[in-house]
Amino acid sequence: MNTLIQITDRHLGTGTVQTVNARDLHGFLGVGKDFSTWIKDRIEQYGFVETLDFVLFPDSGENSGRGRPAKEYAITLDMAKELAMVERNQKGKQARQYFIDCERRAKAATIDPMQALSDPATMRGLLLSYSERVMALETVVQEQAEDVKALNLIAKADGSMCITNAAKDLQMRPKDLFQWMQENNWIYKRAGSATYCGYQMRIQQGLLEHKVTTVEKNDGSSKIVEQVLVTAKGLAKLAKDLRSAHAA
């Protein structure tokens, strides 16, 4: 098993338990907040208790001699799993599963199989460990099923929409969606024109379409206005690609 985050045995409370440096977990999860604000907010928000869920220790690394010493937090694997889970992203799922596997391996390495069979408490602990892993996998499957269902509903919807309305459905700013679509070869502007056009391959794939409208002016003349529309199939494709881009 690859070592995603270093795990260290540390004295906590009345015994020795496996712990993780919270700063390492923070870095792996890619949290936007600075470490100090993030860990303090999480401790307060979820009611973690010092000496039960975590202990403080001084930074002994390369930054320990610069000014005020940084506070480091050694957190139990249970706390680490919860912190990973509440981030609600792919990194969080990966970290949580990693901690579950580490706990399972540690227990398996210290258990005599024959003793386990004759010890109800040990068997109960093993069953709980495996049950937790199954529940984690079921949660992932359920979340993926909900995503697939949502994408299928979008793909089966009737009609097309402008990019601005598509951005609202995708819960992002229109200018961010315009920029992403340009950078990923969905739309472009002709030289000297302010109007967006869809790449032909996207139109052929049924992801985009062009709408041409004749607008009557006040002076009686008319002009032709061309607009790029996102089809239902295109909206489903955008939702999937944007989700993959954020998870990467």
List the chain pLDDT tens, one digit each, 248 residues: 567 899 999 888 778 889 999 999 999 999 989 999 999 999 999 999 999 999 998 875 544 455 556 789 999 999 999 999 999 899 999 999 999 988 888 776 655 555 555 666 555 555 655 666 666 666 666 656 655 554 554 444 456 888 998 998 888 999 999 999 999 999 998 887 778 888 999 999 999 998 877 767 677 777 777 788 999 899 999 998 888 887 76
Residues composing the chain = 248
Neighbours of 13 (CB within 10 A): 12
Q: Output the average pLDDT for the chain.
A: 80
Angle between helices 77-86 and 90-110 (to 10 degrees): 160
For 155, residues 6+ apart whose C-beta sits below 8 A from its C-beta are: 232, 233, 235, 236
Q: Give Cα separations from 163 to 179, 182, 210, 212, 232 (angstroms).
A: 11, 12, 12, 15, 12
**Tokens, residue 83:** 């912190």
Asked if residue 113 lies in contact with residue 128, where contact means CB atoms within 8 angstroms, the answer is no
- How would you classify the pairing of strands 222-230 and 208-216? antiparallel
Asked if residue 238 lies in contact with residue 245, where contact means CB atoms within 8 angstroms, the answer is no
